[in-house]
Chain A
Amino acid sequence: MATIRMKPVKTPDLFLECFCISPDVFAGKTPTEISRLEVREGKARNELGDFFDIAGSSGKTAEETDIFIDGDCSRVKYIGSKMTAGSVTVNGNADMYVGGWMKGGSIHVRGNVDSFCGLAMEGGEIQIDGNAQNYVGCAYRGDWRGMRGGTIRINGSAGNDIGTFMLGGTIIIEKDAFIHISTHAEGGTVVIKGDVQSRVGGQMVKGDIYVFGTIEHMLPGFKEIGTVDKNILGQSMKFRHFIGDLGERHPKKKGREIYGNLYLRAS
């Protein structure tokens, strides 16, 4: 494994669009070549080297390439977007679209991330040590094809619109979430270990939601059908089992309708 080390040396006035910070792009390039990659700040074209000191070496393929960014990336968007292998570590915060459209490999952000983390992700792993803003693992604006696979783990709390249009994969929020969980989902699993305020599973067709804490306001489209014992993330617990959203269409499998499942920890 080879590592490219990047150190932020200049804070952009606006926000940097860095589609290039990905093992797939860096693989096979020297630090000098990498520093010449195009990044945009608004309509201005810049080079990556204008904002980062770049050292180390890259591997021949994405799989053999690690990227380590030592510093704050609060104004850097699209870190690790579309990556298929390798790893990216950010020793600080990151802005929007961390791991957007990601297909494989891993991303570790040791601080907080802004919105759209793991947007339309297809595979791989994202670990955020801090909090996430809104739209974790959701679909791109307007799109109906959300997260398909992989895992996103937020060690802190998250905002609204988590797993919108989710089709597969897993999102784990260790603390609280605000509103709109798995809206329009047709698959996938969202686990919220803290509390949620409201609008959980609106227009959900299929998929699973686990809430370990409380839901302040339940949606009227969910019906309680019983209590179940579930082992989730290595913990065995008793859950109240709801199905829904009853206002939405539901596909049939072997003559039985498939619903979205909402498991709320029984107190």
Chain B
Amino acid sequence: MAELLIKNGFVVDPSQKMNGDVADIAIRDGTIVEKVGSDAKVIDAKGKVVMPGGVDIHAHVAGPKVNAGRLMRPEDKLFKSPNAQEHYRVEMGFSIPSTFKTGYDYARMGYAFVMEAAMPPLHSPHVHEEIHDTPIIDEAALPVFANNWFVMEYLKKEEIENTAAYVAWLLSATKGYGIKLVNPGGTAAWAWGLNCLSIDDPVPFYDITPAEIIAGLIKTNEYLGLPHSIHIHQNSLGVPGNYKVTLDSLKIAEGVKANNKFDREQVMHSTHIQFHSYGGDSWANFESKAKEVMDYVNTHRNITVDLGCVTLDETTTMTADGPFEHHLNSLNHLKWANTDVELETAAGVVPYVYDKDIKVCGIQWAIGLELGLYAKDPSRTFITTDHPNAGPFTRYPRVIKWLMSQKAREATLDSLKYCSKVIDATDLHGIDTERTLYEIAQMTRTGPAKALGLSHVYGGLGPGLDANVAVYDLDLNNMPTDPEEIEKAFSRALWFVKSGQVVVKDGEITHHGNKRTVWVHAKVRENHQVTRDIQDKFLKNYTLGIGNYPVWDHLAPNPYVIEVDGEA
């Protein structure tokens, strides 16, 4: 019996309303328990902050587009690839780190779970191979549905039961976790060289609107009672004035109640909301509409959001929003990769430099933070950078620093070339809110775990939960006056225990962990029509046979399957 006791730390765990209470955390066989025997190994956390392991609700960390980014950007590795330490693998890359660096860096920050935010179903074997190759962290992946031929055909006829049967089949076939929507309808329109820039633009050929796709998938999700809600990347991403489209899309969730057995309350998770909170009608009069968007989110409890903060770095954008990447490439003239995924989706990859000397980048940076500061309920607003689109995930500690310290925000604001123009176009300069450690824990632990329907595993330190515990070098009674110390503490955990195993000590990796892949198996009534439709499309349209489509079990050898009874 492996026992561990983390003693005397300031425990910050919103799931138990603990705000720096000095307490011990007892661990036995990978699970948090009430108490352990006197032989337990002791970690002294006196004077340090103890938090549950972090939960990242949205990052692009595995799969073909991440790999395309790695292939097309050898320069991302230049001088950013530390030589291997004994017993550990070489780490490479910055914005699109190698699988090993991904696992190691998340662990160093004390993160236990990461959601791969867009899995093209056809390429799910690749996604799972890469997930398996990423050490330490638990991962799950969201297959994309909103431009899928089956989904559009069923929803056009308002066949929720059929859509649900198809979704359940696809989740099992791809070992997926939930329903992801990327630019609903717009990516399908991209096959005709078009886009859907509002939720009422009809999708060519299918004659369905993004609004109908969104509403239909919300219904499908709640019909099945999946642990996570729909997870949506809305239409019109990154376009000045798009906040109206954002509000229109959010309104689709109005009045819908969550139906699930996983303690999830929201019916829509709107991701990287920073990219969707833009005012103005061109880059010249581009401005923040963070307040308008957050005011709406604050008053609607059935919506959660994540920030997608711009971190002012050189990074690599990658999304299933094919038309957006084409648009971005015509702005910056750098490299562009584009692909179509048969009946399902598309994707694009373009490098991007969020330059401090460019006005628009400064405004984008400010919008991300404004959203995080305007949020009235931090347990519904999560910290992300839409890794790697707005910045690499390794910058989460920096985002935490900005949210916790006005001084740090002002210092960065002063370093922008168009500082006064950024101040004019945003409210950031006037906001004196400083997030507390408790709120940061809500935004990075408890909140995302609950939104994913995983609060029975992650995001807390209550008995029975998975023993993921991070100890940070911060003294709650004597918080550093220099905000850089906050960033440093969150970048390198003093200790990180993942599923009961010490994986990080003094910011260095000590163990390769017990990685798991989480997916959802939704049971539905046998549906002959959907079964026939699937077989039909594989015969007529797909380039491969149905037998070669599902992810083989050996590609995900450490499964953690969540059973959902969609018949009930």
CB distance from B378 to the nearest CB of A (A): 39
CB distance from A78 to the nearest CB of B (A): 12
Q: Which residue of B lies closest to A19 (CB)?
A: B79
Q: Check B74 against A142 for contact (C-beta < 8 Å).
A: yes
A36: Cβ under 8 A from any B Cβ? no
In the complex, A141→B76 CA distance in Å? 10
Q: Which residue of B lies closest to A186 (CB)?
A: B333
Inter-chain contacts of B76 with A (CB < 8 A): 142
Q: Check A143 against B75 for contact (C-beta < 8 Å).
A: yes
The residues in A between 94 and 121 inclusive whose CB is less than 8 angstroms from any CB of B are none
Q: Check B335 against A141 for contact (C-beta < 8 Å).
A: no
A52: Cβ under 8 A from any B Cβ? no
Inter-chain contacts of B72 with A (CB < 8 A): 142
Q: Check A141 against B75 for contact (C-beta < 8 Å).
A: yes
Inter-chain contacts of A144 with B (CB < 8 A): 334-335
Q: Check A249 against B333 for contact (C-beta < 8 Å).
A: yes
The prevalent SS among residues of A at the interface is loop
Q: Check A142 against B333 for contact (C-beta < 8 Å).
A: no
The residues in A between 127 and 150 inclusive whose CB is less than 8 angstroms from any CB of B are 140-144
B73: Cβ under 8 A from any A Cβ? yes
| Number of interchain pairs (Cβ within 8 Å) | 16
B568: Cβ under 8 A from any A Cβ? no
| Proximity bits, B280-317, A CB within 8 Å = 1, else 0 | 00000000000000000000000000000000000000
In the complex, A9→B392 CA distance in Å? 45
Inter-chain contacts of A249 with B (CB < 8 A): 333
| Proximity bits, B1-29, A CB within 8 Å = 1, else 0 | 00000000000000000000000000000
Q: Check A141 against B333 for contact (C-beta < 8 Å).
A: no
For B, the interface residue count at a CB cutoff of 8 angstroms equals 9
| Proximity bits, B221-232, A CB within 8 Å = 1, else 0 | 000000000000
CB distance from B515 to the nearest CB of A (A): 27
CB distance from B332 to the nearest CB of A (A): 9
Inter-chain contacts of A141 with B (CB < 8 A): 74-75
In the complex, A143→B335 CA distance in Å? 9
In the complex, A142→B70 CA distance in Å? 11
In the complex, A15→B178 CA distance in Å? 50
CB distance from A131 to the nearest CB of B (A): 26
B78: Cβ under 8 A from any A Cβ? yes
In the complex, A141→B74 CA distance in Å? 6
Q: Check B78 against A140 for contact (C-beta < 8 Å).
A: yes
Most buried by A among B72, B74, B333: B333
In the complex, A249→B330 CA distance in Å? 10
Most buried by B among A140, A143, A249: A143
Inter-chain contacts of A143 with B (CB < 8 A): 75, 78
In addition to A142-B335, A143-B75, 8 A-B residue pairs with Cβ atoms within 8 Å of each other are A140-B74, A140-B75, A141-B74, A142-B72, A142-B73, A142-B74, A143-B78, A249-B333
Residues of B within 8 A of A (CB): 72-76, 78, 333-335
Could you list 16 A-B pairs, sorted by A, with CB under 8 Å? A140-B74, A140-B75, A140-B78, A141-B74, A141-B75, A142-B72, A142-B73, A142-B74, A142-B75, A142-B76, A142-B335, A143-B75, A143-B78, A144-B334, A144-B335, A249-B333
| 9 closest A-B pairs by CB | A143-B75, A142-B74, A142-B75, A141-B74, A140-B75, A142-B73, A144-B334, A140-B78, A249-B333
